[in-house]
Structure formats: C-alpha cells, structure tokens
Amino acid sequence: MPLESPRRVLLAKPGLDGHDRGVKVVAMALRDAGFDVIYLGLRQTPESIMSAADQEDVDAIGVSILSGVHVDICERLIELRREHQREDMPIFVGGTIPDNDEKVLRGLGVAEVFPVGTDIEDVVARVRTILDVREVTP
Amino acid sequence: MTRAESLTTESGIEVQPLYTAADLPADLEERLGEPGHPPFTRGPYEGMYRERLWSMRQYSGFGSADETNERYRFLLSQGQTALSVAFDLPTQLGMDSNNPLAAMEVGRVGVAIDSASDMERLFRDLPLDQLSVNFTINATAPILLAFYIVAAERQGVAMGSLAGTLQNDILKEFLARKTFIFPPDPSVRLACDVVEYCSRELPRFNPISITGYHAREAGCSAIQELAFTFADAIAYCDELVGRGIDFDSFAPRLSFHFASQMDFFEEIAKVRAARRMWHHLATQRYRAKKEASARLRFFSGCSGATLTAQQPLNNIIRSTLQCLAAVLGGAQSIHVMGFDEALEIPTKESATLALRTQQIIALESGVTRTADPLGGSYFLESLTDGIQAEAQELLAKIQDLGGSVRLIQDGVMQKWIAENAYRESQGLASGELPRVGVNVYVEEESVEPGALFQTDPESAERQRASLSAHIAQRDSVAVEASLRDVGASLDFQTNVMPSLIAAARAGATVGEISDVMRARFGEYREPVPW
C-alpha cells in the first residue's frame, strides 16, 4: 500500500548482539509498506544512532536488541533524544523483552515495544500509528 | 479431500499422500549402508545409543567464572554428561571486561572470561581430564583454547588428554550470529591454525564444529542449512589441504552442528542426508583414505527461533519434539532450549527441565533400543533423497559462484537467509504457517512463565575488579614480550597457537591479544544490503 508521503525510519542494532534476523525482517516489511528504511547495521552505540538520525533526518528510530540490555540502551537513547531536542521522533524497540521490561521501556518514553514473535503486519501497523501515517485509498 | 495446512515440508519439498515401496530407489542398500558403515546414512556407529547415549550438553554460562562454575556443578549433579560454555559478547568479540564499549554486556548472555585465570576458576574442582567441554567461541576461539589449555595445565592435565569441542566456525558468524572481528580470509586462517595444531597436539579434541545451525535459526531453510554447512566445510578443508596437510590427519576430528526445528521428518531426513553428503565430499573431493574421515558426527541444537514468548509453556512440547527428532536422526550430543528463552536466559529450573527432557527421551521412551529405528521408511528415505538432491544442487551453485568466502563478502548468502526469514514472517502473519498461541489458539491474557532469570547487578563490577587485580599482579614485561611473539607469529605466518599458549601463561588478556590481531588484520564491517 502506498503512503501519503514516504516516512524515513532508521533501524539499527545497538550493543554487541549480532542476532539480526528480526531487524532485517522489519526492514523488509517497512520497505514493502512504503517507508524509506535506513539500516545502520551492527554494533552501533546510542550516540552513533542519534547522530545518524540527525544526518539522515529520519522520522523514527527502531532498535533491535536480543542480548537483554534493552533497558540500559534505551535509557541512553532517550536521554540523547532529549539533548538533541528531538522528542517528537518516536523510538521503537524489538527483541527478547519480558512483559515487565515492556512497561519499564514505555515508562522511559519508548513508543512501541515488539517482543520476539510479534506479527510482522502488526509491527508495520503500529509503526504507521506512531508516525500517524494513513494508507492512501485509491 | 485435504485439510488446508501446507502439503510441502518447511523447505518446500512436496509431500505425497502416501509412500510405498515404489518410492524407494533400486540402490537403497548402497545409499543407506549399515549403521557405522559407509556412507553412514543410518548413523556413525554400529550400536548407536545401545552402546552409548548422546552427550547431554546444555549450553550455559552467565556472570563471572565463579557463578558459572556453580551452575556447572549443579548441572553435572543432575546427570548432565558434558559441559557447554556460553561466553558473554565482550569475550566473543575480543574485548576485556573493562572496555567501555562492553560495559553493559559483561556477563550478560554468557560468562565473562578475560584471562587464563578466569578459565581456571571456571573449571575449579572439575577434573578436565574426565570432562568433555564444548566452547561456543569463534573469532577469539584460538585465544580461548589457549586459556583452556593453560587452565588444564594448572590442574596438572596435559593438553593431549583434553576432550571436547571448539565451535571455531568463523564463516557461519558472517552468515548469522555475527560475532566476527576480522575479515573472512584471516579469520579462516586463524580457524585453520587451530585445526592444524589440534590434529597434532589434542588428538581427543574436536577443533571445529562446522555449523548450519545459526543460519537456519536466522531464517534459512533446511536445504540451505546443509548447503551452507558444506560450503563452509570446503573452505576450511581447501585451506588446510592447500597448506600441504593430509586430509586424513584432521578430517576424523571435524565435527558438525545442525539445528532441530519443528518439521519433524524433514529434520530427521536432513541429518541423514548430511551424513551421506559428507561421505561423498570426503571420499570424492578429498580422496579420504580413512573411514573415520568420512564419518560425520554432529551436535544437535534444538531451536530458539521456533520458541514463542506467547504461552511459553508450549515451548516445552516444541523442545521435546525437536529433541526426539535429533535422537531419531542419530545426534552425538544435544542441547535442549529452556522454555523461557524467548524471554530471558534460562533459570536454574528451566535449564533442569530441559535436561530432564533429554533424560526422559533417553531412558523412558525406548527409542534408543535399536540403531536408526526409522531406517527404510518409505517416506523418510524419499525425503532424505529429496533433501540431499536439492542441497547438493545448491552446494554446486555456491561453488560455481566462487565458494562461501566469496559469497559472504558479497553479502549473497546473508541476503538469501534474510529473504527466507521474511517469507516465514509473512507466512506467520497470514496464518499460512500455523504457530499455536501466536496465530492460532491465541489467548488474550498472557501467561508469564513464572520467575525469569535475574541478572546480578554486582556481577559485572566484580569481574572488572578481578581483572584489575589480575593485571596488577602479573609480570607486565613478560606479558608485553608474549604479545610481541604473537604479533611475530602472525607476521611470519607460522601457526599462532604456540605463541597464544605462551601469552595465556604470561597472563595476557583476551582484549590485549585480540588487539594484536586487530592491528594486523583490521576489523570487518559487513556489507549492509539496504
């Protein structure tokens, strides 16, 4: 489905974890749904992600973490977002994330949390919602 | 009339409504052989589990060496028969625990090992001449093996009597899992140094476990899993044979590692096809003279990718089926996942339950009473032939395109894996691929699996303190000299293992030694497909 105007989403894997199946699937699904997707790749830091987000002028950031350090990384990412005065830019997170941590992440200001096993169409729909993107009906 | 569910296997092989004797090839006897005899389709050993059960090898490690040592002693006390070390990501990526880039991940997904002294503490009171230990380590495998050799030495155990397996399959790290550090070519060289050294000095040790497991878990099909595994095997064997080393001097100690996922018969057929394919490669491509060089032995890892965060207790059933498929496929060692691993690393309770799953299959189900109990099944033999034919075709294509190192550098195999993973996600989203609790029989109320593993927040700090103490008490002049020797060995292209063992003895750390390698080889950045 085409979108009103393509939205730019930055995807990255922060930390040392290399399990990139999920982030690649999300990248392909968002691309097929009409988003502009920039995938930064592995071993990124919150700093490198935020600076790429500035350079690429993206509308949202998605990070994928399967080593369990999602809370630490998101704390730093949200802090940097504030420093960069980009509170309008939603951040979403995927990975091995237990229910309790999902609440913690949302409390920090993470817009969406996608634990492993989340339906890929559901991921796309929820990214659309946080970016307030409507599908164009022909 | 048929029900709506898929009538092909997961890797796309069409399944007929019925199989009869007419589906078996005329040369079935030759294709099968007896268990323990070429081409080893029916298993690597004559008596199989009548003679010896598989090794029950639960992957575990977390926090510091002391905490993990306690878990190992617990698992052994519960009847586990071999150990399998999970290292943390900094150790796998050649970073010391005090490296700022590693700060959040020390001891998180595995145990932090900075030096031979940590390795010594990891195996405290565990006699290394009587244990078989598996190490899931790749880019830093030569260094961690050196630490292990020194830890054994300090127990009074000579390296020649060490048994176990070093994963040391760096090529698959470029495909999936991604704990590479250096570019593919020097990485293959280091891996082969280990194989060459072990074939002389550690005759009971498997110096490499060539694996398709991780690519499979990252999304490729069973057919791709076989083709990728053997493409990687060819890369290592060609390098070793190219050094002038006799194939028969190292091939009997090569081991393999495959996944066991949900398509029950396909998983069994896959590993039977794997044994036949390796026999073919060893005898045809490498002209193996020893029978053992063509006998494929493998470790079966049950699947994490098929486990679900939704209704997590269902994962116990999934793991049981996967473990049973591994047993019916004739695995030499098996790991069963904890049912909570879609959420966290396993608790003591879920790790014990995973071990009990293996024990119940081994002792209560009766499937171990005869070798290859499914051999000769019309359906299974047809499927084995079908998978082998397709995997061989893909392997030939990979070789025609330049082999696995080339295709990895170009990102081709990575792309195939991602595309297959995407198709699977679409199948799950559409419901075409059913998964109970995820897209069928969904429950609105989520049931948490009970207590999850809790990381000890002090553990990383203790590890950093212990590293500081280690650095303070060692002879820094001797460490510097030993690191120069490692560099010289790399520069002169001699086998790196003797200098690594000397550096481990002197107290050099995994980060220091990796830095010597980084200075020569550089760090690899993978091609990003988008």
Query: In chain A, whose CA is at the least distance from the CA of B445?
Result: A99
Say what the ipTM of the complex is: 0.91
Partner A contacted by B100 (CB < 8 A): no
Cβ within 8 Å, pair B446-A19 = no
- Express each pLDDT in B4-58 by its tens digit: 556 899 999 999 999 999 999 999 999 999 999 999 999 999 999 999 999 998 8
Mean pLDDT of B391-403: 98
| Residue B493 token pair | 């292209």
Asked if residue A3 belongs to a domain, the reply is: no
Asked if residue A69 belongs to a domain, the reply is: yes
Contact partners, residue A23, CB within 8 Å, separation at least 6:
A11, A12, A13, A39, A62, A64, A94
Q: Which domains does chain B have, with CATH numbers?
A: 51-430 (3.20.20.240)
Mean pLDDT of B436-457: 82
Q: Are strands B163-166 and B333-335 parallel, antiparallel or unpaired?
A: unpaired
| Residue B320 token pair | 């049981």
Report the distance separating Cα A62 and Cα A40, nearest Å.
Answer: 10
Closest approach of B491 to chain A, Cα-based (Å): 28
Contact partners, residue B426, CB within 8 Å, separation at least 6:
A120
Sign of CA dihedral A42, A10, B216, B68: positive
Contact partners, residue B211, CB within 8 Å, separation at least 6:
B167, B169, B172, B229, B256, B257, B258
Residue B527: asked if its preceding bond is cis (omega within 30°), the reply is: no
pLDDT of residue A137 exceeding 70, the answer is no
- Express each pLDDT in A76-127 by its tens digit: 999 999 999 999 999 999 999 998 999 999 999 999 999 988 999 999 999 9
Closest approach of B517 to chain A, Cα-based (Å): 19
CB B303 within 8 A of CB B260: yes
Q: What residues of B are in contact with residue A25 (Cβ under 8 Å)?
A: 219, 418, 421-422, 425
In 10 A of CB B357, how many CB atoms? 23
Give the domain extent around A124.
8-130
Asked if residue A137 belongs to a domain, the reply is: no
Report the distance separating Cα A28 and Cα B420, nearest Å.
Answer: 11
Asked if residue A135 belongs to a domain, the reply is: no
Mean pLDDT of B313-318: 97
Query: In chain B, whose CA is at the least distance from the CA of A115?
Result: B309
Mean pLDDT, chain B, as a whole number? 95
Asked if residue A116 belongs to a domain, the reply is: yes
Number of structural domains (chain A) is 1
Report the distance separating Cα B46 and Cα B36, nearest Å.
Answer: 4
Report the distance separating Cα B10 and Cα B223, nearest Å.
Answer: 10
| CATH code of the domain containing A66 | 3.40.50.280
The length of chain A, given as a count of residues: 138
CB A89 within 8 A of CB A60: yes
- Express each pLDDT in B61-97 by its tens digit: 999 999 999 999 999 999 988 899 999 999 999 999 9
**Residue B182: left if φ>0, alpha if ψ -120 to 50, beta else—which one?**
beta
SS3 B135: strand
Report the distance separating Cα B50 and Cα B32, nearest Å.
Answer: 20
Query: In chain B, whose CA is at the least distance from the CA of A99?
Result: B448
Report the distance separating Cα B530 and Cα B159, nearest Å.
Answer: 46
Q: What residues of A are in contact with residue B448 (Cβ under 8 Å)?
A: 98-99
pLDDT of residue A138: 43
Maximum pairwise Cα distance, chain B: 79
Maximum pairwise Cα distance, chain A: 44
Report the distance separating Cα B107 and Cα B2, nearest Å.
Answer: 51
pLDDT of residue A4 exceeding 90, the answer is no
Report the distance separating Cα B468 and Cα B312, nearest Å.
Answer: 41
Partner A contacted by B415 (CB < 8 A): no
Report the distance separating Cα B8 and Cα A92, nearest Å.
Answer: 36
* B297-336 residues touching A, CB cutoff 8 A: 305, 308-310
- Give first-to-last CA distance, chain A, whole Å: 10
Q: Residue A6 — pLDDT band, cuts 50, 70, 90?
A: confident
- Across the interface, of B173, B176, B309, the residue whose CB is closest to A115 is B309
CB B226 within 8 A of CB B179: no
| Residue B217 token pair | 């878990």
Q: Residue A2 — pLDDT band, cuts 50, 70, 90?
A: low
Cβ within 8 Å, pair B90-A16 = yes
Partner A contacted by B447 (CB < 8 A): no
Q: What residues of B are in contact with residue A69 (Cβ under 8 Å)?
A: 104-105, 108
Cβ within 8 Å, pair B530-A17 = no
pLDDT of residue B457: 80
Asked if residue A115 belongs to a domain, the reply is: yes
Q: What residues of A are in contact with residue B90 (Cβ under 8 Å)?
A: 16
Report the distance separating Cα A65 and Cα B519, nearest Å.
Answer: 29
Is residue A63 within a helix (H) or strand (E), and if so which, with residue range?
strand A60-65
CA atoms within 13 A on the CB side of B197: 24
Cβ within 8 Å, pair A45-B109 = no
In 10 A of CB A6, how many CB atoms? 14
Q: Residue B344 — pLDDT band, cuts 50, 70, 90?
A: confident
Contact partners, residue A37, CB within 8 Å, separation at least 6:
A8, A9, A11, A27, A30, A31, B530
Closest approach of A17 to chain B, Cα-based (Å): 7
Q: Is the pTM of this model over 0.90?
A: yes
